[in-house]
Copies of this chain bind each other. A is one copy, B any other.
Amino acid sequence: MEDSSDLYDEYETDNTPPWADHQHQCLEDQDNVECLRRKIKYFFMNPCEKYHARGRKPWKLVLQIIKIVLITVQLVSFGLSNQMVVTFKEENLMTFKHLFLKDYVDGSSDTYAVYRQDDVYEYIDYIIDKYGHLHNITVGNHEYEKKGSIYTPMTVCQEFYLNGSILPSNDTFEIDVKVVTECLEVSPMYHTSLQEGYPHFELHFKRMLTVKITFVLKAINLQTVRHRELPDCYDFTVIITFDNQVHSGRIKVDLENDVDINECRDWKVTGASARNINLTVLFDCLIIVTCITSFALCTRSVINGIQLQLEYTLYCRKNIGKEVPLSDKLEFLNGWYILIIVSDMLSIIGSILKIEIQTKVLTSYDICSILLGTGTMLVWIGVIRYMGYFRKYNILILTLRAAFPNVIRFICCAGIIYLSYCFCGWIVLGPYHEKFRTLNTVSECLFSLINGDDMYPTFKNMKQKSSLVWVFSRVYLYSFVSLFIYMILSLFITIITDTYDTIKQQQQSV
- When chains A and B are docked, how far (Å) is the Cα of A171 from the Cα of B264? 5
Q: A272 within 8 Å of B by Cβ?
A: yes
Q: Which parts of A256-274 form the interface with B (CB within 8 Å)?
A: 262, 264-272
- When chains A and B are docked, how far (Å) is the Cα of A68 from the Cα of B96? 50
Q: Tell whether, in the assembled complex, residue A448 and residue B456 are in contact, meaning their CB atoms are under 8 Å apart.
A: yes
Residue of B75, B98, B248, B498 near A427 (CB, 8 A) is B75
One of A281-289, A298-306, A319-327, A399-407 contacting the partner: A399-407
Asked if A397 meets B369 with Cβ closer than 8 Å, knowing A95-B249, A139-B251, the reply is no
A372 contact set on B, CB distance < 8 A: 427
- When chains A and B are docked, how far (Å) is the Cα of A276 from the Cα of B501? 62
Q: Tell whether, in the assembled complex, residue B468 and residue A416 are in contact, meaning their CB atoms are under 8 Å apart.
A: no
Q: A26 within 8 Å of B by Cβ?
A: no
Q: A114 within 8 Å of B by Cβ?
A: yes
Q: Tell whether, in the assembled complex, residue B82 and residue A437 are in contact, meaning their CB atoms are under 8 Å apart.
A: no
Nearest B residue to A251, CB-CB:
B139
Q: A156 within 8 Å of B by Cβ?
A: no
Residue of B234, B270, B373 near A176 (CB, 8 A) is B270
Residue of B98, B370, B420 near A381 (CB, 8 A) is B420
Q: Tell whether, in the assembled complex, residue A271 and residue B162 are in contact, meaning their CB atoms are under 8 Å apart.
A: yes
- When chains A and B are docked, how far (Å) is the Cα of A98 from the Cα of B112? 12
A411 contact set on B, CB distance < 8 A: 482
Q: A218 within 8 Å of B by Cβ?
A: yes
A445-484 CB mask vs B (1 if < 8 Å, else 0) is 1011101111110011000001011001000001001100
Q: A173 within 8 Å of B by Cβ?
A: yes
Q: Tell whether, in the assembled complex, residue A271 and residue B170 are in contact, meaning their CB atoms are under 8 Å apart.
A: no
Asked if A245 meets B223 with Cβ closer than 8 Å, knowing A175-B269, A444-B456, the reply is yes
Q: Tell whether, in the assembled complex, residue A427 and residue B78 are in contact, meaning their CB atoms are under 8 Å apart.
A: yes
Q: Tell whether, in the assembled complex, residue B487 and residue A420 are in contact, meaning their CB atoms are under 8 Å apart.
A: no
- When chains A and B are docked, how far (Å) is the Cα of A408 from the Cα of B502? 22
Q: Tell whether, in the assembled complex, residue A423 and residue B75 are in contact, meaning their CB atoms are under 8 Å apart.
A: yes
A24 contact set on B, CB distance < 8 A: none
CB distance from A445 to the nearest CB of B (A): 6
Q: A64 within 8 Å of B by Cβ?
A: no
Q: Tell whether, in the assembled complex, residue B139 and residue A244 are in contact, meaning their CB atoms are under 8 Å apart.
A: yes
A403 contact set on B, CB distance < 8 A: 487
A118 contact set on B, CB distance < 8 A: 137
Q: Tell whether, in the assembled complex, residue B79 and residue A426 are in contact, meaning their CB atoms are under 8 Å apart.
A: yes
A53-73 CB mask vs B (1 if < 8 Å, else 0) is 000000000000000000010
Q: A181 within 8 Å of B by Cβ?
A: no
Q: Tell whether, in the assembled complex, residue B413 and residue A172 are in contact, meaning their CB atoms are under 8 Å apart.
A: no
- When chains A and B are docked, how far (Å) is the Cα of A91 from the Cα of B243? 12
Q: A20 within 8 Å of B by Cβ?
A: no
- When chains A and B are docked, how far (Å) is the Cα of A144 from the Cα of B223? 37
Q: How many copies does the complex hold?
A: 4
Q: A99 within 8 Å of B by Cβ?
A: yes
User: Number of A residues whose C-beta is below 8 Å from B?
Assistant: 174
**Residue of A248, A270, A376 ringed by the most chain B CB atoms within 10 A:** A248
Q: A393 within 8 Å of B by Cβ?
A: yes
A164-199 CB mask vs B (1 if < 8 Å, else 0) is 001111111111111000000000000000000000
One of A44-52, A225-233, A328-336 contacting the partner: A225-233
A268 contact set on B, CB distance < 8 A: 173-175
One of A2-10, A309-317, A489-497 contacting the partner: A489-497
CB distance from A378 to the nearest CB of B (A): 8
**Residue of A141, A226, A490, A504 ringed by the most chain B CB atoms within 10 A:** A490
A201 contact set on B, CB distance < 8 A: none
Q: A92 within 8 Å of B by Cβ?
A: yes
Q: A421 within 8 Å of B by Cβ?
A: yes
Q: A296 within 8 Å of B by Cβ?
A: no
Q: Tell whether, in the assembled complex, residue A177 and residue B270 are in contact, meaning their CB atoms are under 8 Å apart.
A: yes
CB distance from A100 to the nearest CB of B (A): 10
Q: Tell whether, in the assembled complex, residue A272 and residue B177 are in contact, meaning their CB atoms are under 8 Å apart.
A: yes
Beyond A78-B427, A94-B250, A497-B497, 20 additional contacts (C-beta under 8 Å) are: A76-B439, A82-B430, A91-B250, A117-B139, A141-B205, A169-B218, A170-B265, A172-B264, A173-B220, A173-B264, A173-B268, A175-B225, A219-B248, A366-B468, A373-B424, A384-B417, A393-B409, A444-B460, A490-B496, A494-B496
Which A-B residue pairs are the 7 nearest by beta carbons? A140-B249, A452-B452, A380-B420, A95-B249, A91-B248, A177-B271, A448-B455
